[in-house]
Structure 1
């Protein structure tokens, strides 16, 4: 009897030892898993902190961008918007002229900023900057030489000219220039006739830039030759235009 109990006790002890060893192995495995999870958790916390930092940086950048955009909006709103385009009146003939005369383009097509005066034909630069001007002229008649000249403070900038023959009654000419102007510089269109019936566009001013351009003419000629009248069409063919490219 005692022998059997001893055998059973030995078996039980052996089983318990095996179980204990298994439990210890499981505990060790759990510890390793916990340690790995702790490392993962630490890495996740680091990533979370990094993400929060990046998010904060992004918020800061967004605020800076918003501030920049608002500043740009204000700058654009404050920046003068300058552009004009005008044609001659459609009331009928203009001229003829036997002396220099400022052409007044009363038929305003566009006048953003109201810096072109349809009462005087003068454009006044509202700010220092670079401006673009163009003039287009139409002339109708035979055996007439006509042209357009663009001046800045007495200096010829660009020009155009043509000679109408007996079989060539309609002529068109144009030119353009980019000019740096100061505040108050004026641009005007002036018609100029010479003994050769030259029509001239002049840009001139003491401290200003002036611009001139011929306008539609049914004929534009010296009064002693082939008398006729400059004509203004109801569909404008002669225009004077300009706009601000950028301030300086």
Structure 2
């Protein structure tokens, strides 16, 4: 009789351990089921953080000599040639265009001075649509500057366009185009 009780206890103990093992396997299996998705999300988040280092700043000319551009017969995209900063490589000095590498909120600023006998009027455009502008009257010594925070999608193009009949000048980085990612969205 005591042997029977001992055998019964042993069977109960083994079945309890079996039940614990089955439950643990089920928990591990359930957690592993979501593991690939969690890894994929973490990799995507890491990709956004890596690409979210975006900042550029460029001056109109790559010289310290006084240089005037314009007046021109038609609107023209300005190519800011002297690249000071281009983290993330979003700015292309050959075209004067900043292309947003990631979706996010960006701070964009343009500063300029007019040529000695001309008037400065230039617009900052996002994919061809005027977002804001700078203006300086002819014959003044003051510069013009303006900035805006823009929500950009990945691939949106931002550039500065000098309007027909207007001028812009530079010497020692007086006329600049600058932008940086405030935060990704």
Q: TM-score scaled to structure 1, two decimals?
A: 0.49
Q: Which structure has more helix as a fraction of its residues? A: 1
Q: In the alignment, which residue of structure 1 is the partner of 2:155? A: 184
Structure 1 residue 240 displacement after superposition: 0.1
Structure 2 gap ranges (5+)? 1-41
Equivalent residues, number: 138
Q: In the alignment, which residue of structure 1 is the partner of 2:91? A: 116
Q: In the alignment, which residue of structure 2 is the partner of 1:131? A: 106
Q: 119, 123, 133: which is aligned to 1:159?
A: 133
Residue deviations 1:31-88 (CA, integer Å, cap 9, x gap):
xxxxxxxxxxxxxxxxxxxxxxxxxxxxxxxxxxxxxxxx8xx848535200000002
Q: Based on CA coordinates, which of the two structures has the bigger radius of gyration?
A: 1
Q: TM-score scaled to structure 2, two decimals?
A: 0.64
CA distance in 1, matches of 2:124, 2:61: 22
Closer, same or farther in 2 for the Cα pair 1:151/1:78, shift >3 Å?
Answer: closer
Q: Which structure has more strand as a fraction of its residues? A: 2
Structure 1 gap ranges (5+)? 1-70, 200-215, 218-231
Within 5 A, what are the aligned runs for 1:200-239? 216-217=168-169, 232-233=170-171, 235-239=172-176
Within 5 A, what are the aligned runs for 1:131-150? 131-142=106-117, 144-150=118-124
Where does structure 1 differ by over 6 angstroms across 4 or more consecutive aligned residues? none
Q: 139, 142, 145: which is aligned to 1:174?
A: 145
Cα RMSD, aligned residues only: 2.4
SS in 2 for 1:78: helix
Closer, same or farther in 2 for the Cα pair 1:85/1:164, shift >3 Å?
Answer: same
